[in-house]
């Protein structure tokens, strides 16, 4: 039995996926401790998982207005203040007290990763993005490009898109560097790396979609399925361990009255025959405030169909009162137990976040999907349509009538249900074959081999990273 510490920033997509991962590892007999700079204690301990609170984490510190000369004169003190705001002063000591056999860290928590690697902890990274490495015939995840379609989908077009993305990122960092004079993300991370002796290398996207990304030798556990991506040869460090969905997760942020209303709704559907009514679920992002104008169109679309029921989960960013009077067949909640609703739903209207897409597929629910254009959402939406798992809507242009037509298509065209059931079977195969456990235990086995080698040969320095571990989809 190994002691594994899972560390995430608190973002909902990563949090929910990591819970499913650590529960799989627990069932395999490993001891788990969860840690985060966000206040996740209640949400973690209610799942029966040990929790450690880390110091708050601010990646880019805001500062009062000051002139360029003043920024330059106070550069060192300003950078030191920014480094202290990263919340890693006590991180290494906390990890040493936990004595982990492996740290699993959210791959965007750069200061914590650098601190862990420098302290020679065994580290692997956690990622919810499907495709982060630049690979042949694979477009960047933020685009709508489909390999083989149009000139942008050809080899030259894909390469041009990668180069253009890298150039744009480089320009953004240079502009930020000039404006913030030492307090841009790259400068702060580089300064912190120098302090702890970490060989930081700022990469501007020529081999990786995430920039900066100074962790090129660390293995990544992608908490998703390779099959939902475009066909490609994965990077050797990218291990797809399956779409992490834990159906039994407890959600303390959901009010008990919400569960009662939903249970009554589900019971009425069971007693009256669910085949006579359709249940549609609509979710909002927990990261940004929902678009009230779009939500009202969705409500209007369902109001015209009394044989449909609509459940709205507002992601904690809106209240039902802000939507005004609701039709009798529409139910809105500030927080909703998403996966429990999806298990009852016939179709779903979702943003194109990776968490919503994973859970819809895992529950076997076709999607009407609306990308916000944020991070990987364009790419997620395009992949859903490519595999025939749903319909892509136009957030700006779709009317209530158009939304209603899309819903009607998803509810009546059985080809969508057939394809999503097929993808669901592929998703569930990861769990049945314990892919996540196999990859993690391979990492642990390699670490044990490194320790044994170091003991047998004291002149050989123990490696700081775990690399070249084979796992993922066979």
- CA dist 157 and 71 (Å) reads 42
Q: At what angle do helices 354-363 and 12-27 cross, to 10 degrees?
A: 50
Least confident piece of the model among 132-146, 223-237, 285-299: 285-299
Query: Which of 59, 50, 38 is closest to 113 using CA atoms?
Result: 59
Nearest to 341 by CA among 313, 305, 367: 313
Instruction: Give residue 13's pLDDT band: very low, low, confident or very high (50, 70, 90).
Output: confident
What pLDDT, on a 0 to 100 scale, did the predictor assign at position 331? 94
420-432 tens-digit pLDDT = 999 999 999 999 9
pLDDT tens-digit readout, 247-277: 777 787 888 999 999 998 888 877 765 557 8
pLDDT at 455 over 60: no
**Is residue 352 within 8 Å of residue 372, measured between CB atoms?**
yes
SS3 call for 264: helix
| 3-state percent breakdown (helix, strand, coil) of the chain, nearest 5 | 45, 15, 40
pLDDT digits (tens, 9 = 90+) for 458-474: 443 333 333 333 333 33
Tokens (6 digits) for 286 = 């927990």
User: What is the three-class DSSP state of 175?
Assistant: helix
Distance between CA atoms of residues 100 and 51, nearest Å: 14
Please count the CA atoms within 13 angstroms of the CA of 197 that sit on its side-chain side.
4
Q: Give me the pLDDT at residue 17, please.
A: 94
Q: Closest Cα partner for 390 from 297, 315, 280?
A: 280
The model's pLDDT over 335-390, given as tens digits with 9 standing for 90+, comes to 999 999 999 999 999 999 999 999 999 999 999 999 988 889 999 999 999 999 99
CA torsion sign for 62, 64, 68, 69 is negative
Three-state SS for 130-151 is CCCECCCCCCCCCCCCCCCCCH
The answer for residues whose C-beta is within 8 angstroms of residue 240's C-beta and 6 or more apart is 222, 224, 225, 226, 234, 430, 435, 472, 473
| pLDDT > 70? residue 140 | yes
With bands split at pLDDT 50, 70 and 90, how would you rate the model's confidence at 131? Answer: confident
Look up residue 97 and give its two tokens: 């007290």
224 CB-near residues (< 8 Å, 6+ apart)? 128, 129, 130, 240, 242, 243, 244, 354, 358
Q: Which of 29-33, 245-249, 278-282, 434-438 has the lowest mean pLDDT?
A: 245-249
Determine the average pLDDT of the residues in 154-159. Answer: 95
Handedness of CA 77, 79, 82, 83 (dihedral sign): negative
Q: pLDDT value at position 441?
A: 95
Q: What pLDDT score does 274 carry?
A: 54
Higher pLDDT, 264 or 457: 264
Q: What is the per-residue pLDDT for 356?
A: 92
- 336 with 254: CB under 8 angstroms? yes
pLDDT top residue among 269 and 118: 118
Mean of the per-residue pLDDT values for the chain?
Answer: 88
In this prediction, residue 155 carries a pLDDT of 94
Task: List residues bridging with 36 in a β-sheet.
Answer: 53
Instruction: Tell me the pLDDT tens digit for each residue of 180-227.
Output: 888 888 999 999 999 999 988 766 556 789 888 888 889 999 999 999
Cα 346 to Cα 246, 328, 331, 402, distances in angstroms: 20, 19, 16, 18
pLDDT more than 70, % of the chain: 91
Q: Count CB atoms within 10 A of the CB of residue 45.
A: 14
Rg (Cα) of the chain, in Å, rounded?
A: 23
Lowest mean pLDDT, pick from 27-41, 126-140, 307-321: 307-321
Provide the angle, in degrees to the nearest 10, between the axes of the packed helices 377-386 and 354-363: 30
Higher pLDDT, 457 or 303: 303
**Looking at the DSSP assignment, which residues form a beta bridge with residue 53?**
36
The CA-to-CA distance between both ends of the chain, in Å, stands at 26
pLDDT of residue 448: 67
> pTM for the complete prediction?
0.88
Which tens digit of pLDDT belongs to each residue from 46-101?
Answer: 999 999 999 998 877 777 788 888 888 898 998 999 999 999 999 999 999 999 99
């Amino acid at each position: 039995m190994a002691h594994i510490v899972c560390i995430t920033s608190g973002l909902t997509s990563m949090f929910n996926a990591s819970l499913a991962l650590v529960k799989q590892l627990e069932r395999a007999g490993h001891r788990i401790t969860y840690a985060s700079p966000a206040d996740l204690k209640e949400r973690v301990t209610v799942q029966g998982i040990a929790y450690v609170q880390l110091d708050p984490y601010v990646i880019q510190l805001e500062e009062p207005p000051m002139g360029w000369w003043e920024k330059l004169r106070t550069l060192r003190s300003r950078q030191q203040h920014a480094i202290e705001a990263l919340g890693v002063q006590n991180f290494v000591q906390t990890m040493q007290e936990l004595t982990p056999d492996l740290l699993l860290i959210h791959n965007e928590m750069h200061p914590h990763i650098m601190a862990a690697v420098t302290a020679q902890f065994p580290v692997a990274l956690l990622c919810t993005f499907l495709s982060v490495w630049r690979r042949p015939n694979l477009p960047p995840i933020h685009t709508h490009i489909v390999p083989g379609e149009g000139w942008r989908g050809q080899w030259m077009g894909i390469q041009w898109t990668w180069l253009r993305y890298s150039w744009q990122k480089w320009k953004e960092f240079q502009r930020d560097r000039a404006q913030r004079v030492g307090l841009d993300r790259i400068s702060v991370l580089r300064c912190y790396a120098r302090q702890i002796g970490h060989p930081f290398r700022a990469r501007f996207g020529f081999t990786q979609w995430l920039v900066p990304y100074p962790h090129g030798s660390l293995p990544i556990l992608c908490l998703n399925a390779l099959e939902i991506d475009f066909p490609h040869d994965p990077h050797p460090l990218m291990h797809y361990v399956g779409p992490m969905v834990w159906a039994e997760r407890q959600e303390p942020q959901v009010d008990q009255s919400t569960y009662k209303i939903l249970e009554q709704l589900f019971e009425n559907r069971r007693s009256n025959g669910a085949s006579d009514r359709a249940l549609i679920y609509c979710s909002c992002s927990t990261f940004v405030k929902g678009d009230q104008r779009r939500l009202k169109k969705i409500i209007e679309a369902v109001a015209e169909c009394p044989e449909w029921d609509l459940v709205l989960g507002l992601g904690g960013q809106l209240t039902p009162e802000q939507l005004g009077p609701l039709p009798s067949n529409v139910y809105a909640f500030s927080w909703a137990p998403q996966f429990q609703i999806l298990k009852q739903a016939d179709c779903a209207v979702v943003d194109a976040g990776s968490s919503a897409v994973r859970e819809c597929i895992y529950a076997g629910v076709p999607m009407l999907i609306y990308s916000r254009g944020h991070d990987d959402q364009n790419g997620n939406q395009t992949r859903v349509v490519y595999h025939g798992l749903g319909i892509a809507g136009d957030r700006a242009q779709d009317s209530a009538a158009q939304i209603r037509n899309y819903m009607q298509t998803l509810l009546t065209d059985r080809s969508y249900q057939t394809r999503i059931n097929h993808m669901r079977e592929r998703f569930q195969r990861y769990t049945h074959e314990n892919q996540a456990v196999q990859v993690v235990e391979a990492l642990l086995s390699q670490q044990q081999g490194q320790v044994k080698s170091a003991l047998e040969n004291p002149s050989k320095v123990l490696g700081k990273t775990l690399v070249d571990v084979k796992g993922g989809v066979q």
